[in-house]
Amino acid sequence: MNTPSLLILAGDGIGPEVMGEVKRIITWYGDKRDMEFDVSEDLVGGAAYDAHGTPLTDETMAKAQEVDAVLLGAVGGPAYDDLDFSVKPERGLLRLRKEMDLFSNLRPAQCFDALADFSSLKQDIVAGLDIMIVRELTSGSYFGEPRGIFDLPNGEREGINTQRYTTSEIRRVARSAFELARKRGNKVCSMEKANVMESGILWREEVTWVHENEYPDVELSHMYADNGAMQLVRWPKQFDVIVTDNLFGDILSDCAAMLTGSLGMLPSASLGLPMENGRPKAMYEPVHGSAPDITGQGKANPIACILSFAMALRYSFNDGAEADRLEKAVEKVLADGARTADLLGPEGGSPISTTEMGDAILAALDASL
Ligand code: NAD
Q: Is residue 130 included in any domain, yes or no? A: no
Show which of 258, 274, 308 is a domain's final residue.
Answer: 258
* d(CA 186, ligand 1 centre) in Å: 33
- Structure confidence at residue 213 (pLDDT): 98
The closest alpha carbon to 15, from 304, 290, 342, belongs to 290
- Distance of CA 100 from the midpoint of ligand 1 (Å): 24
- pLDDT for res 330: 97
Which ligand 1 atom sits closest to the C-alpha of 76? 32
Q: Domain for residue 240, yes or no?
A: yes
| Residues 236 and 174 both lie in one domain | yes
Q: What is residue 346's predicted lDDT score, i.e. its pLDDT?
A: 74
pLDDT value at position 258? 79
Ligand 1 pocket check for 77: Cβ under 6 Å: yes
Q: 218 CA distance to ligand 1 centroid (A)? A: 36
Give the residue, by CA position, lying nearest to ligand 1 atom 1: 289
- The CA angle 25-340-322, to the nearest 5 degrees, is 25
Q: Is the CB of 19 under 6 A from ligand 1?
A: no
User: Do residue 145 and residue 253 come from a single domain?
Assistant: yes
- Residue 336: inside a domain: yes
Handedness of CA 282, 308, 132, 98 (dihedral sign): negative
Same-domain pairing of 292 and 207: no
Question: How far are the Cα atoms of 24, 108, 109, 276, 327 from residue 254, in angstroms, in the given order?
Answer: 29, 10, 9, 33, 21
| 309 and 362 together in one domain | yes
Buried b (16+ CB within 10 A) or exposed e, 173-197: bbbbbbbbbeeebebbbbbbbbeee
Domain of 241, CATH number, reads 3.40.50
Nearest CA to ligand 1 atom 27: 289
List of residues 6+ apart from 186 with CB closer than 8 A: 217, 218, 219, 240
Q: Distance (Å, rounded) from C-alpha 93 to C-alpha 91?
A: 5
Ranges of the chain with pLDDT below 70 = 1
pLDDT given for residue 267 in this prediction: 96
What would the pLDDT profile of 117-172 be if each residue is shown by its tens digit?
878 888 889 988 999 999 999 999 988 999 999 999 999 999 999 999 999 999 99
State which amino acid sits at residue 348: G
Residue 75 in contact with ligand 1 by CB distance below 6 A: yes
CATH number at residue 43: 3.40.718.10
127 belongs to a structural domain = no
Among candidate residues 227, 258, 289, the one where a domain is terminated: 258
| Ligand 1 geometric centre to CA of 289 (Å) | 3
User: Residues 268, 321: one domain?
Assistant: yes
- Main-chain phi, psi angles of 55, to 5 degrees: -75, -10
Same structural domain, 155 and 176: yes
The answer on 246 and 149 residing in a single domain is yes
Instruction: Kindly state whether residues 150 and 224 are assigned to the same domain.
Output: yes
In angstroms, the CA 210 to CA 289 distance is 35
Q: Residue 121: inside a domain, yes or no?
A: no
Domain boundary among 205, 236, 258: 258
Q: Do 225 and 314 fall into the same domain? A: no
Task: Check if the beta carbon of residue 97 is closer than 8 Å to that of residue 270.
Answer: yes
pLDDT at 117: 82
Residue span of the structural domain in which 77 resides? 1-110+263-369
Note whether residue 133 is domain-resident. no
Nearest ligand 1 atom to the CA of 291 is 3
Evaluate: CB of 21 within 6 angstroms of ligand 1. no
Q: Are residues 78 and 28 in the same domain?
A: yes
* Residue 126 is assigned to a structural domain of this protein: no
Sheet containing 69-74: order of strands:
38-42, 5-11, 69-74, 280-286, 267-274, 104-110, 130-136, 241-244, 187-192, 219-224
Q: Which residue numbers are catalytic?
A: 142, 193, 226, 250, 254
Question: What would you report as the CA-atom Rg of the chain, rounded to the nearest whole angstrom?
Answer: 21
361 and 293 in a single domain? The answer is: yes
User: How many domains is the chain partitioned into structurally?
Assistant: 2
Tell me how far the alpha carbon of residue 238 lies from the centroid of ligand 1, in angstroms. 30
Q: Are residues 203 and 167 in the same domain?
A: yes
Q: Is residue 146 part of a domain?
A: yes
214 half-sphere exposure, CB direction, 13 A CA radius: 14
